[in-house]
Amino acid sequence: MNTTAYPFSDYQNLSDAECQSRIEAAKASLGKRLALLCHHYQRADVYRYADFTGDSLKLSRQAANSEADYIVFCGVHFMAEVADILSRPEQVAILPDLAAGCSMADMATLTRVRRAWRELASVLDPDQHVTPVTYINSSADLKSFCGEHGGIVCTSSNAPKILEWSFSQRDKVLFFPDQHLGRWSGHKMGIPLDDMVLWDWDQPLGGLTPEQIDKAKIILWKGFCSVHQMFRPQHIDQFRATYPDGKVISHPECCYEVCEKSDYVGSTEYIIKIIAESAPGTRWLVGTELNLVNRLAEEFKEQGKIVQFMAPTVCMCSTMARIDPPHLAWCLENLVAGQVVNRITVAREDAELAKVALNRMLDAS
């Protein structure tokens, strides 16, 4: 057994073929001790090695129910945190590259949210009137904050149902970090746009007046996904003008105007399901991350389905793409040698409170 971790510098210049052979050999050596998870947005040259594929919550639950000792999450930091929170105590969660973060998750930090909570207290008692709801695309300490303050976690597929639960607890919701998911979910519940206000964490009282806060049903955090904000209503207009029979499907992290113009709106799993079940020869315009769209285009090509990316410019989850074959080979070969690199561990107190918020979500949905 190796007593010193192999340095990543030994892997930086490996050829694609060498990375492939070493990853495959390491996977074979680790066998069922390894659960290699790949999110739908993961780059193709890493996705190919997955034991499990899906969205972040589904993957973490699958890994927790597996025989694996090691959970290697090819996603971003918050996903590996969820895997650590939901896994058994003896399981180890690993992120092959610690630089694989999420810009949207970074827009809502615990410091900013605590300050917002204090500022809201100058207008009303938030613990009596506001249910904090955090999208699963957020750090563990924000999930812990929600657990502590009677709040809950949501996903892109269950957000409207979670809002229903939230309003059964208190009369307002503070929704972070993604404003677009919160706005679309509120709209689906029939809440007028005027009853949803935007909290700007850089402004005193979020840039709002006490009257606006008092009137609001949902207080939306000024956060967004850098990929999904690229999609614009005019992209849909151009598509429909050229292909009147085409269908449009978008992720709810897209802006309200894009979702409103789409035929279907839903999570990554929903997008895959709808396109898979569509008739042969259907043409689709898809508003979500490029790697998933390219994978769907290839998968359904034989059925005559045309699946195209919504934006005219290339945009992908660049932070997730930092997990590349050299990082994966480095991570796995260290495990074979008995060394754990880039372990993700959530502090016990945060993990316990985050699990409270996650369990509320699972019970409510």
DSSP per-residue letters across 177-223: S-HHHHHHHHHHTT--GGGEEEE-TTSGGGG--HHHHHH-SEEEES-
Longest dimension (CA), the chain: 65
Beta bridge partners of 294: none
Tell how far CA 280 is from the center of its chain: 30
Per-residue pLDDT of the chain (365 residues; tens, 9 = 90+): 555 689 999 999 999 999 999 999 999 999 999 999 999 999 999 999 999 999 989 999 999 999 999 999 999 999 999 999 999 999 999 999 999 999 999 999 999 999 999 999 999 999 999 999 999 999 999 999 999 999 999 999 999 999 999 999 999 999 999 999 999 999 999 999 999 999 999 999 999 999 999 999 999 999 999 999 999 999 999 999 999 999 999 999 999 999 999 999 999 999 999 999 999 999 999 999 999 999 999 999 999 999 999 998 877 787 888 999 999 999 999 999 999 999 999 999 999 999 999 999 999 98
- Record the pTM: 0.94
Instruction: For residues 290 and 32, give the distance between their C-alpha atoms in angstroms, rounded to a whole number.
Output: 31
Domains of the chain: 8-100+319-346 (3.40.50.10800), 105-226 (3.40.50), 228-309 (3.40.50.10800)
Q: How far apart are CA 354 and CA 113, in angstroms?
A: 15
Q: Within the chain, where are the H helices?
A: 16-30, 44-47, 56-64, 77-86, 103-106, 110-120, 126-129, 140-148, 159-169, 179-188, 210-215, 233-242, 256-261, 268-277, 290-299, 325-336, 348-364
Question: In sequence order, what are the residues at sequence separation of 6 or more whose Cβ sits closer than 8 angstroms to the Cβ of residue 324?
Answer: 43, 45, 46, 97
